[in-house]
Amino acid sequence: MRASYLKLCQWLDRVTALICGLACGVLTLSVLTIVVARFGFNAGRIEVQNLAGYAFAVMLVMTIPYTLARDGHVRVEVLSERLSDAYLRRADVVGLLLFLIPVFGLMGWAFLPDLAYSWSIREGSVETGGLAGVYLVKTMLPVAALLTVLQGIAAVLRPSRVAQ
């Protein structure tokens, strides 16, 4: 069961990495288009600006579970360099169970009513002539929260690299 869960989280991490990569590519191309159009041709399109903002938002929230899956989070402990690996592992597990999982679980759950409303009105851009689909971008927040919780549980279940 544990191995199956970790394999599922590994697959979800690959999907998350793909989404982050696609969002980064779209962001890069849309910003390049904005710059060339504005400074090269003195023109611009609000849709391309919205696309850049949407891509940035998706990339930003999806990098949270992506980073967690790679143990890339920042340690705030000043003394961590001097502490044993076993202590750091226990501190990570406590932090994941007491803080990360409840906070991201609550964040995803608390956002659902706003997301339901956004979907019900098919929320679009606030700018006239902007892109529709803000509700799709907003969907990524609870998805990222769920993925973060799943990756947090996987981090707790992963075998330790050090003997405890």
Q: CA of 31: how far to CAs of 19, 24, 37, in Å?
A: 18, 11, 10
Q: Above 50 in pLDDT, residue 32? A: yes
Percent of the chain with pLDDT over 90: 77
The answer as to whether 144 is a domain residue is yes
Note whether 131 and 54 are within 8 A (CB). yes
Overall average pLDDT of the 37-65 stretch:
95
At position 75, the amino acid (one-letter code) is R
7 is a domain residue? yes
Q: Is residue 164 part of a domain?
A: no
Q: Give residue 126's domain range.
A: 2-157
Mean pLDDT, residues 123-128 taken together:
90
What does the pLDDT read at residue 129?
A: 87
Coil, helix or strand for 46? helix
As given in the structure block, the two tokens for residue 98 are 């007491």
- The pLDDT, as a whole number, for residue 88 is 81
pLDDT tens across 131-150, in order?
Answer: 999 999 999 999 999 999 99
- Measured CA to CA, the distance from residue 146 to residue 83 in angstroms comes to 31
Please tell me the pTM assigned to this model. 0.89
**Position 162 confidence tier, pLDDT thresholds 50, 70, 90:** very low
* Length of the chain as a residue count: 164
User: 31 lies in a domain?
Assistant: yes
SS3 132: strand
Overall number of domains in the chain: 1
Question: What band does 71 get if pLDDT is binned at 50, 70 and 90?
Answer: confident
In a domain, 163, yes or no: no
Is 138 within a domain? yes
**Mean pLDDT across 14-25:** 98
Residue 162 counted as domain residue: no
Mean pLDDT of all residues belonging to the chain: 91
Indicate whether 92 belongs to any domain: yes
Cα 143 from Cα 112, distance rounded (Å): 11
Tell me the C-alpha distance between 54 and 137, whole Å: 6
